[in-house]
Amino acid sequence: MSFAESLSDPGVLASMLAAVAMFATVTSVMLPALKGDKLETRLKQVTEQREKLRRASRAALETRGLKKEAQGTISSITKRLDLQKLLEDPNIQIKLDQAGLRGPRPLMVFYFCRFVLPFAFAILTFVYIFFLSDLGLSPQMKYGSIIFGAAAGFYAPNLYVGNIAAKRQQSIMRAFPDALDMMLICVESGMSIEMAFAKVGAEVGSASPELAEELQLTTAELAYLQERRVAYENLARRTGHEGVKAVTMALIQAERYGTPLGDALRVMAKENRDMRMSEAEKKAAALPAKLTVPMILFFLPVLFLVVLGPAYIKVTSVQEAG
């Protein structure tokens, strides 16, 4: 029997259809098992990424020295003299965090300088007044100058830390509105808030290393701390700016009440852009008042010289001719 004749045989056709139906049945039954569980695979990938981020965050915390004990000669002297209790300042830890000086060592160095500098400044003032200069001061003025030098040495560490904190805050707030825009894009694209902080912290480093450090530290705390609210509050405390405090409050409320993070970030980004624009307008408005003194000191004398100089030369020449 030829192949064409076999195809026309009803028994052969029935056998072929039965084979095709059986193959289709087996394939439809086995196909889900062959595909596997995509949800389980994705959840496993997310878990692995979270653990990887957690390990990196803990390593970052240990690298920054947040969990290390202060060591060295200065730390040992500070502990031995108990300067932290003797010269206690309740707000110094917040100021050091805002200045980016984290860990126990900067705190020990601060108290050591606060203890040593008054004596050093007083000695330098004494040597200068009594041995290196002859200002003709009365004894009361001399001793008052020594006391003033000691007071300047006592408050010098606070001024130094405050200056660093102010410069750091300016750098953070210049790049913070742009960082919020990038964070909004990350959240709306489907990223979690931890991944958004990590991504924005990596991208904003060229514009503001200080803001990148704060965002990376917040990412580490979100993976390390038990309550996410504490990580947001620490970010607001370290920056010390009203714009950042408003954003962290919005993030806390969004997680507490389940409101969309995208809407909150969009509103906060607009407010911070307006705040940055108002600061620029304020500086522009204050510029004429700041230019008044330089104009009086440098421009007006030259202007008077240019205007009155020819008249003076002419009057002098006329008097000499007469």
Identify whether 201 is part of a domain: yes
The two three-digit tokens of residue 60, written as one number = 């970052």
List C-alpha distances in Å: 184 to 110, 172, 178, 204: 39, 18, 10, 14
Residues in the chain with pLDDT values less than 50 = 1, 39, 65-67
CA distance 171 to 161: 16
The single residue listed with the structure tokens 């421009």 is 299
CA distance 192 to 226: 17
105, 65 Cβ separation under 8 angstroms: yes
pTM of structure: 0.64
The two three-digit tokens of residue 191, written as one number = 């990223």
pLDDT at 65: 47
Identify whether 203 is part of a domain: yes
The two three-digit tokens of residue 150, written as one number = 């000691």
Identify whether 39 is part of a domain: no
Residue type, 104: P
CA distance 187 to 195: 9
Contacts (Cβ under 8 Å, ≥6 apart) of 218: 197, 231, 232, 234, 235
CA distance 234 to 200: 18
Find the domain containing 131 and state its range: 63-275
Cβ neighbour number for residue 135 with a 10 Å cutoff: 9
Identify whether 229 is part of a domain: yes
The two three-digit tokens of residue 54, written as one number = 């957690």
Identify whether 58 is part of a domain: no
3-class DSSP state of 67: coil
The single residue listed with the structure tokens 């924005």 is 200
Cβ neighbour number for residue 118 with a 10 Å cutoff: 19
The two three-digit tokens of residue 120, written as one number = 């050093």
The b/e string for 223-256 (b: 16+ C-beta within 10 A; e otherwise) is beeeebeebbbbbbebbbbebbbbbbebbbebee
Name the domain count of the chain. Answer: 1
The single residue listed with the structure tokens 């993976």 is 223
Identify whether 47 is part of a domain: no
List C-alpha distances in Å: 100 to 57, 71, 187, 188, 251: 18, 19, 27, 31, 23
Identify whether 300 is part of a domain: no
pLDDT at 248: 87
Identify whether 309 is part of a domain: no
pLDDT at 62: 56
Encode pLDDT of 306-322 as tens digits: 888 888 888 888 887 76
Q: What is the dihedral of CA 52, 53, 54, 57, to 10 degrees?
A: 130
